[in-house]
Amino acid sequence: MILLDDVIQEEARLNLVNSLSYKTMPDYNWWDGWWRIAPRNYVEQTLYSLWGPYVHSDNYPAGIEYWSRKLTAPDPGLAWHQDTNEKEFSTDNYQIAGASMVYYTMVEDLMGGNLELYPFDDREKGNTRSSIRDYLELGAEESFKETIRCVQNRMIIYDSARLHRVSYVHAGVRENLASSIWFEKPSVFHKHENYDRDWKPQKWEVKNEANIYQQR
């Protein structure tokens, strides 16, 4: 795991959260990566800045899936899960990403909303869901759980197979830019790059935001 605070300059953070691309981002998005396509907007430029030191040219992945979520109190958070191909989560094609990152873009008066992780990181295909269920039913001791506070401008990189959740948000607001590195491109992203929560293709008007600013 990698954890860094104040990971980008404040000007860059503000450019991101105030950008049209960040404000209008669909629920699920794909980018083939800067090694194939230059960043097209502030979101992808930020991902390049954050992932750049950890993605090596001798082992470039297929690309990066990314999304953003805002939780406002009171909110139950997110249940225990691995970072997977969400479109096919309930099918036999249970795919787990290679590595994941959460970057906290904005945090206000927050109580709760922590990232919690268990050491469980099973990637064995075919029985992963049942293994998770059995693991949770055993009542893993709290001493095994790692808790990381949600802090503005904090970045965390972790194994996508690690079982994790977001705890209950008692007060305040938290926003993040989350992403996963994939070494095999999920089939849904061969068809389109941007989808809503129901996996309907979306036309993201400002996906090529960088070109818009260059033309001014």
Phi then psi for 97, rounded to 5 degrees? -65, 170
Cα–Cα distance for residue pair 116/80, rounded to 1 Å: 9
Note whether residue 53 is domain-resident.
yes
CATH number for 7: 2.60.120.10
The residue-averaged pLDDT of 146-174 equals 96
The residue-averaged pLDDT of 199-205 equals 95
Note whether residue 82 is domain-resident.
yes
**Sign of the torsion angle spanned by Cα atoms 33, 36, 41, 46:** positive
Q: How many domains does the chain have?
A: 1
Q: How many residues does the chain have?
A: 216
Convert the pLDDT of each residue in 24-66 to its tens digit: 999 999 999 999 999 999 999 999 999 999 998 778 899 999 9
Residues of the chain with pLDDT > 70: what percent?
Answer: 90
The residue-averaged pLDDT of 171-194 equals 96
**Token digits for 193?**
């790059």
Cα–Cα distance for residue pair 83/89, rounded to 1 Å: 10
Note whether residue 91 is domain-resident.
yes
Cα–Cα distance for residue pair 141/144, rounded to 1 Å: 6
Query: In 3D, which of 73, 74, 77, 65 has the Cα closest to residue 31?
Result: 65
Convert the pLDDT of each residue in 102-152 to its tens digit: 999 999 999 999 999 998 888 775 566 777 777 877 766 666 889 999 999
Q: Which residue reads 């129901």 in tokens?
A: 198
Give the residue numbers spanning the domain of 130.
2-196+206-214
Note whether residue 201 is domain-resident.
no
Output the pLDDT for position 215. Answer: 44
Cα–Cα distance for residue pair 139/123, rounded to 1 Å: 20
